[in-house]
Amino acid sequence: MRTERGYTLVEVLVALVLSTMVIGMVFLLLQGSRGNFSRVRGSVELQSETRETVRMIEHDLRNTGFKIANNYSSRILATVRCPLAYADPANGDSSSFLHVNRSDWSNPGDEIVFAQYTPDGAGNVSCSPANLKVIRYRLRMEDSLLVRSEASLFSDIPSASEVPVCRSVVAFQMEYGLLQADSVLWGSATTFSSPWLGIVRTGTTSTLSAWTDGAVYYAYSGTVQDIQQGYTYRFALTLTPDDSMASTSHGQNRLWVGFLDGSQLVDTVQVWMGTTAGRSVEIDVESSRNIAGAHVVVAGRLAAPSAAANVAVSGFSVTLRTPTDYTWLSDPTVEQKRRVRAFRYSIITKTDREVKGTSPWTFDGVGDLPGLGIQGPDAKKGYAFFRRIVPVVNHGI
């Protein structure tokens, strides 16, 4: 007969201690994994949030000034001047943004306030105050939030409510890009001729008359230039219609500018629609083809022409835009602001996640801030650096 023997008390205690140690180690591993997962998830969420903020700012900045419905045409990048978009016309500032530059890491939060026009429900764009929107982005240092506010006028921005768009922001820096000088292809000395229209030139002003029926007629330049596909050309002119032209046919009259390729009108853009009185126009057109020996044209159609109808064209010029080589400024003068053709903005955010790397982290070339070396408890934290360049063509000048 075999005697069955159980565990002794010592054996049970030893097994219990070992089991507790194993369970404790597993628990610690799970807790560490859970903490790492939470930190990684927080880091990914913050980077995703910052990317969305970068895209939001780009969308807003791209339409600084007068928005000409980029949804409807990729070639038309700018249109008529709208004085309501001017930042500070009383002091001669005809750009459409105000800025605050800060160049110290104790407060690395620049500010920008800019105006834009939006299409109405029918997709039309006008200088109506109802279509004007003024937007501000600034870094709120007390809680490290990048905030956005919106109003109807520049003067209303200080009291507008602020909406956080990005958290844990270490720095927000704005820079302003001036292009190198453009090449003038046709200037104020440009003369026009036409087989249909009467043209009287006084100084640098050409008056077009003798609109006889509802067909499209045009006046073309006497000089020619080669046009290159994909390049951007800026048309600038002032149109002054007389009362007969501006009041005929209840706004059905049209004027365009563009190029003449042989006998074909190319890349024409509408610059005037009656009944509005004269206006100054700046239009950027991306050429759709190569044209050897192109003329520039001012074309028009009057739905019910009057024998007295005429329009004066003055200040005419066409320039080839310089596509690259920006000069970047953090604190442009009023005169320089008028020439700004791009914004460059930088955002640095800090995550709670500790990462491997050489301490301290450094950030150089962020606006006009000096290099940042992060010490102390933040030296091992994760940081994300986002930068975007946004070209703008018509910012209200």
pLDDT of residue 165: 95
Same domain, 345 and 244: no
DSSP labels for 104-146?
BTTB-B-EEEEEEE---TTS---S-GGGEEEEEEEEETTTTEE
* Structure token digits, residue 285: 């057109």
CATH code at position 258: 2.60.120.260
Distance CA 182, CA 393 (A): 13
Q: What is the pLDDT of residues 120-140, one digit of tens each?
A: 676 666 777 888 899 999 999
Distance CA 26, CA 20 (A): 10
Same domain, 314 and 195: yes
Same domain, 203 and 244: yes
User: Does residue 107 fall inside a structural domain?
Assistant: yes
- Cβ(192)–Cβ(221) below 8 Å: yes
pLDDT of residue 38: 54
Same domain, 60 and 176: yes
> CA 199, 201, 205: angle at the middle one, nearest 5?
110
User: Does residue 287 fall inside a structural domain?
Assistant: yes
Mean pLDDT of 152-166: 95
pLDDT of residue 79: 46
Same domain, 214 and 165: no
User: Does residue 11 fall inside a structural domain?
Assistant: no
pLDDT at 36 over 80: no
Same domain, 248 and 271: yes
Helices and strands in the chain: count of H runs, count of E runs: 3, 23
Question: In this structure, how many other beta carbons lie within 10 angstroms of the beta carbon of residue 249?
Answer: 15
Distance CA 256, CA 352 (A): 57
pLDDT at 317 over 80: yes
Same domain, 203 and 307: yes
- Cβ(369)–Cβ(103) below 8 Å: yes
Domain stops at, among 320, 341, 366: 320
pLDDT at 69 over 80: no
Distance CA 341, CA 62 (A): 10
Displacement of CA 12 from its chain's centroid (Å)? 74
Expressed as residue numbers, the domain containing 95 is: 54-181+326-391
Same domain, 298 and 336: no
User: Does residue 10 fall inside a structural domain?
Assistant: no
Domain stops at, among 291, 320, 349: 320
pLDDT at 56 over 90: yes
Distances (CA, A) of 176 to 106, 185, 196: 22, 26, 46
Domain stops at, among 320, 348, 382: 320
Peptide bond into 275 cis (omega under 30): yes
Q: What is the pLDDT of residues 266-302, one digit of tens each?
A: 999 888 876 566 778 888 888 999 999 999 999 988 8
Same domain, 304 and 386: no
pTM score, whole prediction: 0.58
Backbone torsions φ then ψ of 66, nearest 5 degrees: -105, 110
Q: What is the pLDDT of residues 352-375, one digit of tens each?
A: 666 665 555 566 668 888 876 666
Displacement of CA 373 from its chain's centroid (Å)? 31
Among residues of the chain, what percentage have pLDDT more than 70? 78
User: Does residue 247 fall inside a structural domain?
Assistant: yes
User: Does residue 70 fall inside a structural domain?
Assistant: yes
Same domain, 370 and 294: no
Closest by Cα among 321, 340, 342, 326 to 183: 321
- Cβ(197)–Cβ(226) below 8 Å: no
pLDDT at 82 over 80: no
Sign of the Cα pseudo-torsion (18, 23, 28, 33, in order): positive
Same domain, 239 and 342: no
Largest CA distance in the chain: 134
Same domain, 58 and 130: yes
User: Does residue 229 fall inside a structural domain?
Assistant: yes
User: Does residue 9 fall inside a structural domain?
Assistant: no
Q: How many folded domains does the chain comprise?
A: 2
* Structure token digits, residue 129: 């105050």
pLDDT of residue 85: 82
